Structure 1
């Protein structure tokens, strides 16, 4: 197929395997990145049609890299190719601008089909992902997708002047989910309570907390709460939301 593709994955064996597979299927791989920063740089250099983007990568994760690619290079589409298919990963990637979402057990044919779909203006979603999206839509507002800043006034960093649901740029490379976890920490919730609130596993919550601690420089929850207040990601008790 006539598509120019960048592959982004932090695991060398996986990255090289995907590049080889795509080459055998006639896809022109113009670059391979080890993290999100490299992916964005390769997009700027080669202007590919599509990036196959892993989500969990060092320095700059796949969600943030997707957001940057779609903002800075709107002619390039993003198809997520990840091991993680939890709702948090799915909806964060879609909100960041990904048009496709596959897990790494996808066949070469499925990957090529997803690339072809996004190039034609469609969504390159696996059948399992499509079912989950339909289930969320059918469930209605009682079971909203686990996304950050979905409702006006949900957190102080939301840009009220720019309209409903529009989110300001998050500081220090925080992802929307990490900022949401940080806001819940500021509310006084423990890991188990955050897990239940967001409908994700305790292990996933712990991963988000470790990531946000590293990005904010917080050594403990008290410092994280202070950061949230100072950066406007949470409101101190008794503060009205305007």
Structure 2
């Protein structure tokens, strides 16, 4: 039986990938609502990973929200790319190893001291290295600020290094693609075409990504074999929907 699923994602291309693979995992054509970012991309929280984290921080009672929105939401999937952990200082402000006079006083996204004088050190020694450490840290970032009494119908996914890695896994079959930094720039958009599909430089196009998303869903079995973050999403979706 199909469900109504709310998605909180970094952007419209991630939204397309998530819709395609969730339908593949559940075997249903579900109905989706983009909770974040808002469709005009100029909403209250903004877009990108900061918009996701801000939505999680500032949305009061996610469980109540799910009931109040019509149609009522059965589940929420929250996505933040793993590259955030690799390169963004704000993501490490609250880590045990970080010593800062602002720590605990100002939420990282509201702090204006992330310049050269910021004490955050990357890579951070407060969490495990590798894909598992990245996913764990990303999940903690989201869950620690999420106002949700019940997490049974909420799934968190941290694609590594990004959902672009899942695209490369689907098309090229790279076993170590999750350790590859910025696969969009270095692989997909490196040339004018990617597997015969026109790519417009550094800018991601939703029409192009609709094709990519279908390929990821079609090759989902291979993607989950090559990407631990994809396999983790599959487990989370099955947990939420009790599959």
Q: So what's the TM-score if we normalise by structure 1?
A: 0.32
Structure scoring higher RCO (CA < 8 A, sep ≥ 6) equals: 2
More helix by share: 1
